[in-house]
Amino acid sequence: MNESEASLIIKAGAELLLAASADPRSNEGYVAVKANIAMALDNIAQALHNFEAAVATADRSTGWVQDLNRVADDLRER
């Protein structure tokens, strides 16, 4: 699987999560959802960092990486 295919899976997962969140019982698993999203955001941030390291124009997504890590930390803390 390449990065484009992996990003389509992330997109599809986000769409499924959006649909599932409309269920009135959706908050039953909210703690697990937050933990899973936090881990996913950390992994996405690391992937962006890895992509960044492979291109000549470094630091174009440094802010995004930091923002994703901050959001992940906030999800874990609440």
DSSP for 9-71, written as a single string = HHHHHHHHHHHHHTSTTGGGGHHHHHHHHHHHHHHHHHHHHHHHHTSSSTTSSHHHHHHHHHH
**Is residue 29's pLDDT more than 70?**
yes
pTM: 0.83
User: Which pLDDT score is estimated for 41?
Assistant: 96
**Is residue 60's pLDDT more than 80?**
no
**Is residue 58's pLDDT more than 70?**
no
User: Which pLDDT score is estimated for 4?
Assistant: 93
**Better-predicted residue by pLDDT, 5 or 53:** 5
Q: How confident is the model at residue 76 (pLDDT cuts 50, 70, 90)?
A: very high
**Is residue 12's pLDDT more than 80?**
yes
